[in-house]
Amino acid sequence: MNEFCRGYQQRLLQKKIKQAAKGRLSLEEVQHLKRCGVDINHKTNKRVIKKLAAWCQTTTIEKYLEDVVFLLKNAALLDIINLLAGITIIVSLTTWLANEKQRRNAEVYQAWQVITAAYEQSGSGGRKEALEFLNSETRRFPWFWLTWKKQSLVGLEAPKALLTQVNLQSAKLFSANLQSAILFKANLELANLTKANLQSAGLYEANLQSANLSQANLQSTRLIRANLESANLTKANLQSADLYDANLSRANLSGVKNLTPEQVTKARNWKKACFDPDFREKLGLPREQIKECK
């Protein structure tokens, strides 16, 4: 019986040792075996370390940390890419803006080439669009804050040009040659046409409100239904000019040359225009100027 018990105990001890080696025993059981003189530290420690390593390789925490490292690396790479892209955009924008003035100058040169090439042609020859471009305050897409000033049209040579409905508002046309040009319904409001040659030009229904036509040559000019309200025609030559139904309200005709009462009375609002005292007398008006002319 004692022998049987000893054999049983021996088998039980071996089983416990195996369990300890596999890390299946509790801490109290392991300590009990150590008190019995069983050396299991080297086996259990290795087994525990192996299990811990295996757990670390398969756990979701490690995978999470790997994802975090991956994201951080990619975030840094994206920052570098974004930085390079930003630098490229800034360099491209700077280069574009630096060349913008050159492109504008080239377009201005081409517009003047069109006007010069069509000299004394009876048609438009592209002059209408060229003149409107030169007289415009152009905004450049997509740089809307860039505004180019109007070009001066002083001394323009465009005789016989077909400029129907051309928009030259506030244009600088000092000493321009527009002899025999067709300016039907042209917008010349506030334009400076001082000393301009408009002889025999067709200004039917043209808007010349507040335009400066002082010393201009308007000989035989057709100003039928033109709006000359508040226009300055001082010392202009109006010989044989057709003022039929033109609006002369507050127009200044002081010192005009070769103007007859018959021409004036064909116009509208001629009594509200400004004339020299002697000419007012010829028109049957009081010599004293009206309030608007003072």
Per-residue pLDDT for 186 more than 90?
yes
pLDDT tens digits, 254-265: 999 999 999 999
Per-residue pLDDT for 8 more than 60?
no
Per-residue pLDDT for 44 more than 50?
no
- What's the confidence (pLDDT) of residue 262? 96
- What's the confidence (pLDDT) of residue 190? 97
The domain locations on the chain are: 41-117, 122-294
**Residue 102: pLDDT band by 50, 70, 90 thresholds?**
confident
Q: What are phi and psi of 167, to 5 degrees?
A: -105, 100
- What's the confidence (pLDDT) of residue 79? 67
Tokens 């630096």 -> residue: 98
Mean pLDDT value of segment 188-198: 98
Per-residue pLDDT for 149 more than 60?
yes
- Distance in angstroms (rounded) separating the CA atoms of residues 216 and 253: 12
Per-residue pLDDT for 132 more than 50?
yes
- Distance in angstroms (rounded) separating the CA atoms of residues 167 and 150: 13
DSSP conformation letters of 130-192: HHHHHTS--B-SS-TT-BPPPPP-TT-B-TT-B-TT-B-TT-B-TT-B-TT-B-TT-B-TT-B
**Residue 120: pLDDT band by 50, 70, 90 thresholds?**
confident
The arrangement of secondary structure in 122-294, i.e. its CATH architecture, is 3 Solenoid (2.160)
- What's the confidence (pLDDT) of residue 288? 81
- Distance in angstroms (rounded) separating the CA atoms of residues 292 and 281: 18
Which residues, at least 6 apart from 48, have a Cβ–Cβ distance to it below 8 Å? 23
Mean pLDDT of the chain: 81
> How far, CA to CA in Å, does 20 sit from each of 23, 36, 56, 183, 192?
5, 14, 22, 112, 110
- This prediction has a pTM of 0.66
